[in-house]
Each structure stands twice: as structure tokens, then as C-alpha cells.
Amino acid sequence: MSVNLQGNTISITDQNTHHLANQMLDTQALPMILQQIHQDVIEEYGKGNVADYIPALAKVNPHQFGMAIRTVDEQEFSIGAADTAFSIQSISKLFTLMLALDIVGDDLWKRVGREPSGMRFNSLVLLDSEGGIPRNPFINAGAMVVTDIIAARSAAPARRIEEFIASLSGNDANRIDQLVAAGEQATGYRNIAIANLLKGMGNLEAEVEQTLDCYFKQCAMTMSCRDLARAIECLANRGRSHFKSSFHGEKMDKRINSLMLTCGLYDAVGNFAYNVGLPAKSGVGGGIVAICPGQYSVAVWAPELDHYGNSVLGQLALEKLTFYTHTSIF
């Protein structure tokens, strides 16, 4: 593959058009590719809306974009607001899943399924009809069960999650935004209903208030794209991280990546797999993280969301990344 910058446009020529999946990333071309992606996606400003049902997120400037890539050999590339901290929201569910699997292993799957839901991330419908077992750990109900595993086994569960995430990213400044957490708790009526239904159906061990407090706080974690790309490096690198991580994920990366591929973008996961072709996890703060196994981790942030709750520009940026680099897993 050759990549040439002609004026303001990247021209890509490939001599082999038959088997492009898993092509090795050309890191020399990556700075130009990121410039082109940035130029492409900012033209789409205004096509989504910020998550205005969370008070603090409603105030975020919608016209922001950042992207960071970290290769498994520790090279980093970024563009735009890659070092701006933002509320990671449901991306936190990926980290609590990693931590809970560290704590209880496969016993977790006795309480949470591994199938796409096909429903909104905060739906109660399937939970009620399927005996209190959430379809997967990335919908809100499943994430609460995962959080409950941590809450029931920790003296200070929110602090434990903070420290675990900081160990993955290598940045001790990755902490909970208490203002965001308070706002979510004050307006999170549907999540409160989900937690009470889970408790009533026998799938919460801790008290409802304890689990909810931890859940709202984990969603209020703030990180940058660079932090996130570093924090998920272990999922691209067979569980190994170059940071002082407490995650023992040597055998978990395959399982977690498969869940991101099938469940990571809620009821839009099929379109994302079709267009992008990477395991990924999104959050209503506008962030998306993704993995190209054996090659790189990537994080993108742009606050404007589509009606599924996924970043409009973030999805487009990742689609263009796999197109320009031919690194889709398919």
C-alpha cells in the first residue's frame, strides 16, 4: 500500500485488493492519515446532539474532536483534542468488566449473559422477561450487575475502580468527576428502576444504594483519548500492558474483545461492525474506544451523538481509519 498527500487529500493505492483485512499498520503514513481523518470528520459537525439528559454533559461544547492511537510497540499518534479530559460514561463498563473478571472469573457469567440485546441500553423489557439476567455486561442492567460484584467485595468500590483505571492508563489524574456523578444520581430515575428490579429478582448482592452510587461514579470518570488508548492497550496486546497495570488479562482479551464486537455499541453494533470492523465500546460522553488485535488501540472523542447514543464523528473517524489503513479485522 502507498499513501500520498496530494494537496489536502490522501491518495491511497493498493496493489493487492483481495485480502486487506489485518494488513499491518503503516505507522509512517499514520500522521498524514490522522490529518485527513480530522479534515474529513469536522465537516460533519452539527449532525448530532450532546447528551442533554445528563446536566453536566448538556453544557459541553459540541464542536470538539480528538483521536489517539497507540501501537503495541508503544508508538503514539494523535490529532485534535486528544489530551482533553471528558466524561467516559459507558466506556467505564469495559473497565469494570475487566476488574470483575479479575475478581470472580467465569462465575460472572452465571449472572450476566453474552448476547446482543437489540434493545436500548437502558431498557427494562428483556430484564423482566428473562428472569433478571441481563443480556450482556454493556447494557445498563448488565453493567450494574458487574458493578455489584465489585461493590459487594470492596470496602471502597468507587476508589477501587478509580485506581484500577489509573493503573491501566498510567495516569493518576484519571478520577471521578463528582459533579457529573451527582447530576447523574439526581436524574437517573430509569437506572434506579433497573437496580431495584435487579434486586427484586435476586441479582444484586450489595444494597441498591451502594451499587448505584458506585455505578454513577464509575460513569463519571474523566479521561482523555490518549489515556483511553493507553488503558485498553492490554486488549490489543494479549493482555499485556507497558504500564504498571493490575489487570491479569492474559486469557481475557479474546473474550472481552468478542463482547465489544457484538455488544459494544448497543443496538447499533451491527452497523458499526459493518462499517468499521473493530471491537469497540462507546459512551454517551462522545467517546469510543476500539481495538485492532495485535496492532493498536484507538480512542476517539466528539460529543455529538446519534439517536443510538454513539458519537457521530467518532464512528466516522474509525470507519475512515480502517479504510485508509486496511486494518479492519474482516
| Distance separating alpha carbons of residues 218 and 45, to the nearest angstrom | 28
Amino acid type, 20: L
72 is catalytic: no
| Distance separating alpha carbons of residues 233 and 105, to the nearest angstrom | 21
Helices marked H in 232-304: 233-236, 253-263, 269-275
- Indicate which residue of 60, 180, 284, 289 is catalytic: 284
- Indicate which residue of 41, 50, 92, 93 is catalytic: 93
Cell triple for 160: 477501587
Longest alpha-carbon distance in the chain? 62
CA atoms within 13 A on the CB side of 276: 30
Distance, first Cα to last Cα, the chain: 17
169 is catalytic: no
- Indicate which residue of 78, 87, 90, 282 is catalytic: 90
Radius of gyration, alpha carbons of the chain: 19
DSSP-derived 3-state class of residue 61: coil
Taking the mean position of all CA atoms in its chain, how far away is CA 197? 26
| Distance separating alpha carbons of residues 12 and 90, to the nearest angstrom | 35
| Distance separating alpha carbons of residues 183 and 226, to the nearest angstrom | 26
Does residue 229 contact residue 86 with C-beta atoms inside 8 Å? Answer: no
Does residue 256 contact residue 97 with C-beta atoms inside 8 Å? Answer: yes
Q: At what angle do helices 92-104 and 157-169 cross, to 10 degrees?
A: 110
215 is catalytic: yes
- Indicate which residue of 266, 300, 311, 328 is catalytic: 266
93 is catalytic: yes
**DSSP letter (8 states) at residue 295:** T
- Indicate which residue of 78, 169, 215, 312 is catalytic: 215
Cell triple for 166: 489509573
324 is catalytic: no
Q: Which residues are catalytic?
A: 90, 93, 215, 266, 284
